[in-house]
Amino acid sequence: MARRIIYVGRIVNLGIEDATLPDGRVVELEVIRHPGAAAVVPLHDDGTVTLVHQYRHAGGGMHYEVPAGILEPGEEPDACARRELSEEVQLQATDLRPLTTIHTTPGFTDERIHLFVARGLTPTTDHPEDDEYIEVVRIPLAEALAMTADGRITDAKTICALHLTATAMS
């Protein structure tokens, strides 16, 4: 596969790639290569979940999301989920279970996010990274699901993770 690099940044690697379509035609496509990520639903014994209300410049302001982060080189998705759980919402889990893995936008990126649910939660003393603005919010899972339906939660990984968590509980 031929690839012409356009830009390499801290998170993304944008290039033009030659792609062979199923019918044999070769076309040029813009593709963002991404290291992947992990996201986790912190589910408390009382049926509440902990979310972040986080500033997202590209998204135009504050967004409700599950804790998530980019995989470090060589890092396993479950280790990333545990790291982000501690950094973003100051929690650790005795039980971390995979929900699924999603492609965020396969039309132009290979980004995959590994989704988890965390239980057996206890506090840590960690803190968010310096380039993040995060407010920690704990609400009933049912309310979080309602927020996905009424548009207060628009983040795709969060919507998937919350609904998969609710399904796994039933």
Catalytic positions are 129
Question: How far is Cα 48 from Cα 95, in angstroms, rounded to an integer?
Answer: 16
